[in-house]
Chains A and B, each alone.
Chain A
Amino acid sequence: MTNAQPAATTPTEPMVGLAGVHKWYESFHVLKDINLAVAKGERIVICGPSGSGKSTMIRCINRLEAHQQGRIVVDGVELTDDLKNIERIRCEVGMVFQHFNLFPHLTVLENCVLAPIWVRKTPRKEAEESAMKYLERVRIPDQAKKYPGQLSGGQQQRVAIARSLCMRPKVMLFDEPTSALDPEMIKEVLDVMVGLADTGMTMLCVTHEMGFAKTVANRVIFMDKGQIVEENEPEAFFNHPQHQRTKLFLSQILNH
């Protein structure tokens, strides 16, 4: 693997590629032989019961978790123990967390410009202008001077999305972005995510919002016990699931 070469992705090379990935927590086998290729601009929704390894899988893509076997290639660069490599990939991969994880000691605007200024070396003025643009896109430019603690959950999650976008990532990872939200705030966050999908962003979303999956995803992946059990286009996935496990899961999640 020539990991010195930057970012040029040929059409045949996926934006994110996992090949034979295994991961263990101590002796617990969390991920078992994961193979997945995500093309540029593709939008993947990953679902599955809790403990199925779906969060762990996307956390491996920006190395918040290390895998022990197999290869993960992001934007043409393989993830290894090399710290410089990891940090370079993290610049290209944005992540949105279940609990927002905004920096509570910084204002919304400061949250957004921190990484562009200190990692990308963008001049402050330029970073702030660009941050305001993204805050407008998630529809909260008027909250820029407030602290995260003064915002609602839905607003915080939209700020978190803007903060990630400020790094101009090539891939966005969403780790259950609406699971910690009150029901009436889920829609405002999903709307922003749909808007993001329309711009052609490569997205991997762990979510149980099946409506979102139906409208946005190119592919839906179902995971169970650390394995990818089934993957298909949303239409086929929801109407004709192949595996017994998938059918059971869908019946539980859609009929509650």
Chain B
Amino acid sequence: MASAAPVTPDLPPPAATTGAIGWLRRNLFDSPLNSALTLLAIYLLYLLVPPFARWAFIDADWSGSRTQDCSRVGACWVFIHAHLNQFFYGFYPAAQQWRVNAALGLLVALMAPLFVKRFPGKPWLALAIIVGYPVIAFFLLLGGRFGLPYVETSNWGGLSLTLVIAVVGMVAALPLGILLALGRRATHMPVLKALCVVFIEIVRGVPLITVLFMSSVMLPFFLPEGLNFDKLLRALIGVVLFASAYMAEVVRGGLQGVPKGQYEAAAALGLGFWKSTLLVTLPQALKIVIPGIVNTFIGLFKDTSLVLIIGLFDLLGTIQAANSDANWLGYSTEGYVFAACVYWVFCFSMSRYSQRLEKRLQTGHKH
């Protein structure tokens, strides 16, 4: 019987490099400089965290309904509680607020299956959300049909308005941005390409506030007398155009990152431009730039607060209005902390979702 070559058995790593002590030693105290930085960081946390925790939680007043219920030592969350309805619905009539809830609930219900790993109809559901949902939400929120009383857009406000602007912006900016990116790459169609370049560079080169001002103040000058369209609609157009210009460059970066061989393989199989784009190159490009797309979405979400400038009361707008409420003067810190928390929760959720998506779409290809 032939003897096997000697094999070195797998040994466990040395004990000092594992466990909590090993981790601490390796990561926090592995050099004098690192140790000093660790201690400095602990000291800074000691300076900042306890006073904030005392203000926001320990000394804070949570219950009550009037300003007298607040001790003024810690945060007065009663202020937020008293205005919660306004922060969420703006001036949407109380009797109709169920419609806002219904629209939001429908969106959540439609999106929930997207988080289920093995849900089969995902592409179709996504299409339904992108195409069908906005129509339903439009009639539900605006009313004037199907027996629903008409609610003017000037009464819309608060977080629900923020969400309307953000969702419309995202749903419209992505496809528009894709078209602009494809247009900018169309080297064999110089006129189309030039139009896309000019649009992207102009819109991207001015601040959103300017775009909003233009669409809200200047646009009416160019429209014929008597034709006057909705202020919210004008803001939406401004936000969508602005976000789509950014999106176009993100998507173009992705299309640039798809290897030339992919375009050639698709062409060699007889796929025309649109089929090759939709089935082969665009899915890969979008996957590459998920971080960039979500980055743009997060920027867009926070930029919606700029509609305050043209007189729309989004979440931040209603909080500022409450700050100047004569019965509740001096609680603006609480208001802004609340606004920051709400924005953060939404943006962080988007960020987490994008990381999940990236991980799931990873098919193990390196180049």
Contacts and interface: CB of A to CB of B under 8 A. Distances in A.
B47 interface: no
Interface in B330-367: 361, 363-366
B268 interface: yes
Interface residues of A, number: 28
Contact of B265 (A88, A97, A167): A97
A64 B270 contact: no
Given A115-B269, A119-B275, A150-B364, A103 B261 contact: no
Interface stretch (B51-59, B280-288, B320-328): B280-288
Contacts of B272: 83, 87
B14 to A, nearest CB: 35
Interface in A73-109: 83, 87-88, 90-91, 93-95, 97, 99, 101-105
A119 B270 CA distance: 7
Interface of B: 259, 261-262, 264-272, 275, 279-280, 283-284, 287, 361, 363-366
Nearest to B261: A101
A132 interface: no
A154 interface: no
Given A93-B268, A97-B265, 16 more contacts: A64-B264, A101-B261, A101-B265, A103-B262, A103-B284, A104-B284, A104-B365, A105-B284, A105-B361, A105-B363, A147-B364, A148-B363, A149-B363, A149-B365, A150-B363, A164-B268
Question: Sorted from nearest, which 4 A-B pairs have the closest CB atoms?
Answer: A149-B364, A149-B365, A104-B365, A101-B265
Contacts of B270: 87-88, 90-91, 115, 119, 167
9 contacts: A90-B267, A97-B261, A101-B261, A105-B283, A105-B363, A118-B275, A148-B363, A149-B364, A167-B269
Nearest to B269: A115
B269 A163 contact: yes
A62 B271 CA distance: 12
Which residue of A94, A97, A115, A119 has the most chain B CB atoms within 10 A of its CB atom? Answer: A115
